[in-house]
Amino acid sequence: MRRTAPIIQRIDWLTVAIVVILMAIGLFNVASATAGADAVDWFDWGSKQGKQFMWVALAMILAGLILVIEGEFFIRTAAIYYFVNLLLLVAVLAVGRTIGGAKSWFSFGSIGIQPSEFAKTGTALMLAWLLSRNNERISNRNNLVKAILIVAIPAGLILLQPDAGTVLVFGGMILVFYREGLSGNVLIAVFCALLIAIATILTGASLFEYPAIGSASAVGILWFILAVLGTFIWSMIPQWVLPRKRKRVRRAVVFSFIAGLVMSAALHTGLEEVLKPHQKDRIHVLFGIDVGNPDADYNIRHAKAAVSSGSWTGKGYLQGPMTAYGFVPEQETDFIFCTIGEEWGFVGTVFTLLLYTLLMLRILHLAERQRSDFTRIFAYAAASVLFMHYLINIGMVLGLAPVIGIPLPFISAGGSSMLGFTLLIFILLRLDAERFTVLR
């Protein structure tokens, strides 16, 4: 490939193809979910799928614009874009419209814009900018704090809306930190902390018949197991660890297990003592704990039923009764995967999963072929954002993750996420296209 080749030959068409296919899947399934039992009216611009059509068209225009802008522009304006985003996130808390319990929308007539969908790109740009400056490695504690702040500030503003799903997406940036040099132990520690938190919530909701004490919360068993496990590992240190490392390892083990216990106890107390019963119930419902209200989790039961009823090849496009007759809530946005599952079956769901996986792996591949740190870090941030949406959205529909509403990239109806993801992917593609021509 020649360095002077036109931009059109240098962009990664595989990624573009995957994105276009995802958009097409989205259009067809949003149309089915919107039409319900009626025939699809492809040219009704007022309907949800009509709007989606419009958003896809706008996304194409936006992609074209991005591709003709010099990559240098994005690097230079990263900080500006980031701070404008922060301002918008503050503004939405003041004048935003509340939909579905979260104050996260600017509303212009019938069109709503969600600034948090654009803040992901802003944060990715800012993070890439910070970490790609000379000698600003993440192993430097000072830089780590700066990097965490860059992610935490928008995440904190979004938590105030509150939109837990998007906050979790920002949490996914830990993968970027890991790639840039954060210790693997941190990744493991975060994973363990999540595991302990989930175990605390699940055991905390059930009772156990203790000998001599009687009936009490089963969370005690969790603590007992943690204590026994910690003691066991501590006692095995002489066998497992070289003498000169023992002191450090011992300290680490004692610290981790005490931290785990304290966190678990704090979480349990918070749930039981601080939250009001209805708030506690909401958290329990997220984790599939029976709160004695048959209506509480019927959304997720219907979602699972819809996906399951697709079998091998699905009921056929526009033929799914659960999609057509309103059994799945928010089925053109957060639960769009139900429509794919019901109407296209296993073939359709696995095809979609493979497309996302291919897209994420392709982005990793693009990232690693860069000479520019900025592009690599930005690419990792984009992959992390995509991955978190993929993980949370499909995990929720399949009943593996809590019910947290976030869109499925390029497929769910909605303009903000469509434009936000377009921004994310096409800035990356533009930067990637310049990988031979520009040295940074």
Partner 1 sequence: MNLRERQVVIGGIFVLITLIFIGRLIQMQLYSSEWKEYAARLTEETEQLEPARGLMLDRNGQILLNNMAGYDIWFTPRKCRTAGGLDTMAFAEILRMTPAELEREFRRAEAYASYRPSIIRKQIPAEHFARIAGELYRFPGAEARRRTIRTNPTGLASHLVGEYREVDQNDMASNSRYRLGDYKGKSGLELQWDQALHGKRGIRHHIVDIRNDYRAPAQEGLLDTLPTPGQDIQLTLDLDLQAYGENIMANKRGAIVAIEPSTGEVLAMVSAPSYATDLLTGRERGSNYDSLLNHPSKPLFNRTLRATYRPGSIFKMIQGLIALDRGVIRPSSRIYCDRNIIGCHGGHTLDNLEEAIVHSCNPYFHEVMKRMIQDGSSGNIFRDAHNNLGAWSESIRAFGMGTNLGGHFPALRSGTVPDTTDYDRMYGRKRWAYSTIYSISIGEGELLTTPIHMANLAAVLANRGHYVTPHVIQHIGDLGKPEEMNQRFDTGIDPIHFETVIRAMAQVVTAEDGTGSRAQVPGFDVCGKTGTVQNSQGNHSVFIAFAPKNNPQIALSVYVENAGSGGDWAAPIASLMIERYLNGTVEQREKEDRILQATYPFPESPL
Residue 173 makes contact with partner 1 by CB under 8 A: no
Maximum Cα interatomic distance, the chain, rounded to a whole number of Å: 81
Q: Which two tokens stand for residue 44?
A: 């009704």
Cβ atoms 82, 115 nearer than 8 A: no
Rounded to a whole number of angstroms, the minimum distance from the CB of residue 388 to partner 1 is 10
Residue 421 in the binding site for partner 1 (CB under 8 A): no
Contact 124, 115 (CB under 8 A): no
Contact flag: residue 389 with partner 1 (CB under 8 A): no
CA torsion through residues 280, 281, 282, 288, sign: positive
**Which of 64, 181, 238, 316 is in the footprint of partner 1 by CB under 8 A?**
181
Q: How many residues interact with partner 1 (rule CB under 8 A)?
A: 50
360 binds partner 1 (CB under 8 A): yes
Instruction: Mark the segment that binds partner 1 (CB under 8 A) among 38-46, 251-259, 387-395, 418-426.
Output: 387-395
If one asks whether residue 356 binds partner 1 (CB under 8 A), the answer comes out as yes
Q: Does 345 bind partner 1 (CB under 8 A)?
A: yes
Determine the Cα–Cα distance for residues 276 and 199; give it in Å rounded to an integer.
21
Cis bond before residue 329 (omega within 30° of 0): no
Is 291 a binding residue for partner 1 by CB under 8 A? The answer is no
- Spell out the residues 6+ positions from residue 181 whose beta carbon is closer than 8 angstroms to its own: 137, 138, 139
Classify strands 214-217 and 207-210 as parallel, antiparallel or unpaired: antiparallel
Q: Which of residues 310-329 bind partner 1 (CB under 8 A)?
A: 310-312, 321-322, 324-327
If one asks whether residue 432 binds partner 1 (CB under 8 A), the answer comes out as no
Say how far apart CA 173 and CA 300 lie, in whole Å.
28
Q: Is 179 in the site for partner 1 (CB under 8 A)?
A: yes
Contact status: 387 vs partner 1 (CB under 8 A)? yes
Q: How many CB atoms are located within 10 Å of the residue 435 CB?
A: 18
Q: Which tokens sit at 46?
A: 């007022």
Q: Quick one: angle between helices 336-368 and 373-397, nearest 10?
A: 160
Separation of alpha carbons 379 and 99, rounded Å? 31
Q: How far apart are CA 138 and CA 145, in angstroms?
A: 9
The smaller minimum CB distance to partner 1, of residues 81 and 170, is found at 170
User: Does residue number 280 form part of the binding site for partner 1 (CB under 8 A)?
Assistant: no
**Alpha helix (H) residue ranges in 172-276:** 174-179, 184-204, 219-240, 243-269
Q: Which stretch binds partner 1 (CB under 8 A): 54-62, 104-112, 146-154, 356-364?
A: 356-364
State the minimum distance, in angstroms, from the CB of residue 187 to partner 1: 8
The reply on whether position 412 binds partner 1 by CB under 8 A is no
Q: How far is the CB of 177 from partner 1 (least distance, A)?
A: 11
Position 301 contacts partner 1 (CB under 8 A): yes
Q: Does residue 180 bind partner 1 (CB under 8 A)?
A: yes
∠ CA 8-11-13, rounded to 5°? 100
Q: What is the DSSP letter of 289?
A: -
Taking CA atoms, 30 is separated from 53, 175, 323, 330, in Å, by 10, 31, 10, 11
Give the residue with the Cβ less far from partner 1, 129 or 390.
390
Minimum separation from the CB atom of position 152 to partner 1 (A): 21
x-or-dash pattern for partner 1, window 31-70, by CB under 8 A? ------x---------------------------------
Q: Give the Å distances, CA to CA, from 19 to 127, 318, 349.
A: 24, 23, 16
CA distance 4 to 55: 33
22 sits near partner 1 (criterion: CB under 8 A):
no
Q: Tell me how far, at minimum, the Cβ of 188 lies from partner 1, in Å.
A: 11
Contact segment (CB under 8 A) with partner 1 among 48-56, 114-122, 248-256, 385-393 equals: 385-393
Pick one of 62, 391, 404, 438: the residue that binds partner 1 (CB under 8 A): 391
| Residues of the shown chain interacting with partner 1 in the complex, contacts defined by CB under 8 A | 37, 175, 178-181, 184, 294-295, 301-302, 304-312, 321-322, 324-327, 341, 345-346, 349-350, 353-354, 356-357, 360-361, 364, 367-368, 380, 383, 387, 390-391, 394-395, 398-400
